[in-house]
Structure 1
Amino acid sequence: MIPYFNLTNNTTQNRSKYCFEWLDSQPRGSVLYISQGSFLSASSDQVQEIIAGIKESNVRFLWVTRDDNSRFKGGDDSDNRGLLVPWCDQLRVLCHPSVGGFWTHCGWNSTMEGVYAGVPMLTCPIFWDQFSNSKLIVNDLKIGWRVMKNNQSKTERHEIAQLVTKFMDPECNERKEMIRRAKELQDIFNKAIENGGSAASHLDAFINNIVNVLIVSS
C-alpha cells in the first residue's frame, strides 16, 4: 500500500520545494531524517534531550516538527547543519540520495516507507504497535537500532549523540551491514509491487474476487 506512484508526481514536491533544494545541496547519505509522527510525541523532557543530542552529534538532519522551534536555537552552528519543516513528502524525502537514515516513531506507514526507501532506521516508539514494529526493524529485519533501551524511562543527550554519530558514520561496519540488508529488502519490496509480483498479484486477486461476488449477486 505504499504510494510509490507519488514519486513521479510533481505536485507534492512543489509543496516542499525548499526542503528538496536543501537536500540537493547535501552530501550523499549524510542526512538523518527525523519524524516522530503526527499523533503523539515523546515527553517534553525527552524531546529536549533528543534535540540536544542531535545538535551534539553534529550530523546533518531534516526534522519534521510542529513544536515551538525556539527550543532548537542555540549558540552553535546547528542551524547550518539542519532544516526544520512543519511538513514534507516523507516517502520522497526518504528516497532522496542525501538521506542516509530515518529516526522514526515506528508507525506502520513509516516503517513500510523506510523499508521501501532502503534506509536504516533509529527506532523511538511511543505506544501500541510501534513497539512491535520497532522489534521487527531491529531484531527481525536487522536494519535499525533502538534509541531507548527497554528498561530506560529516558535517554540522555550524550547517549543520543553517541548513538547518532555512530549510526550515521559511513565508515561504521555495523552501519554498512544495515545498509546492505536494507537495500536487499528494498529490492524485494520493488519486485513485489511490479506487475506479476506477489503484492500486485494478491491485490489483483482480491479485486477480482470482489468483482466476481458482485456479478454473482446481481
Structure 2
Amino acid sequence: MEEIAAGLHDSGVRFLWVARGDNSWLRQSSVKGGFVVRWCEQLRVLCHSSIGGFLSHSGWNSTLEALFAGVPMLTFPIYFDQTPNSKQVAEDWKVGWQAKRGVGSDIIVGREEIAEIVRRFMNSESNEGKELRKNMKDAKEICRTAIADGGSSVNNLNAFLQDVLQKKVSCAGTQRPINSPS
C-alpha cells in the first residue's frame, strides 16, 4: 500500500482512494492530489463523468461495475477470481491494463512502475489511451443493451426463473425437493 500511495503521488494524477479498515496512516498522510475515504458508493462514483480510470483488484463485482460505467480498469489482482478477471479485462476484452501480474501479497510493484503506468493509463490522448477508451465505450454499450428490456441478461434471467417455477410446481404435488431426481 505504501508503494501504491507513493506511486500515485509521484504520478501527479488526481485520485479518490477507498481505504477500508485501519488505514488511518494513509488518510493522515500527505498524499498530494488524492482524497482518501473509508467508503463510497462505488458504482455511483464510477458513473460520474470526471472519472477517467479505475485502479481495482478486479473482483467480479468491481469488474461488472466498471464495465457498466464504461470506465477503463487498471487491474491489481491479489487472489481468488481476481487474476482471471484481470486477464479478461486486459487481454480478452482490452478494456484495461494489468498493473500487477500474478497472485499474492509478496509480489511488489514499485512506486516508479506504478507512477509510470498510471501516467500512461490516464493519458486519454495517446493512441493506446484512445483505443482503450473506445473498447470500453463499446463494452459499456453491450452491457447496457444486455440489461434493457429484451436484452440477453433480462431474457436469461426470465428463462431461469420460469424453469425454477416450473420445477417447483411439478415437485409440489409429489412432495419432492426441487433438486431431487424425477
TM-score range, shorter chain: 0.7 to 0.9
> Quick one: which of 106, 131, 139 aligns to 1:177?
131
Secondary structure at the aligned position of 2:40 is classed as coil
1:10-159 alignment, distance < 5 Å = 47-66=1-20, 67-71=22-26, 73-74=29-30, 78=32, 81-150=33-102, 153-159=107-113
CA contact (8 A) 2:58 2:86 kept: yes
> Paired residues, what number?
168
1:83 Cα deviation after fit = 1.4
Secondary structure at the aligned position of 1:100 is classed as coil
- In the alignment, structure 2 segments of 5+ residues that lack a partner are 173-182
- In the alignment, structure 1 segments of 5+ residues that lack a partner are 1-46
User: Who wins on radius of gyration, i.e. which is larger?
Assistant: 2
C-alpha separation between the residues in 1 aligned to 2:71 and 2:26? 28
The equivalent of 1:213 in structure 2 is: 167
C-alpha separation between the residues in 2 aligned to 1:207 and 1:150? 38
- Coordinate RMSD, CA, aligned: 1.7
The equivalent of 2:146 in structure 1 is: 192
Normalized against structure 1, the TM-score is what? 0.73
Post-superposition CA distance 1:35-75 (Å, at most 9, x none): xxxxxxxxxxxx1110000001111101000242334523x
- How many percent identity over aligned positions? 45
Secondary structure at the aligned position of 2:64 is classed as helix
Secondary structure at the aligned position of 2:53 is classed as strand
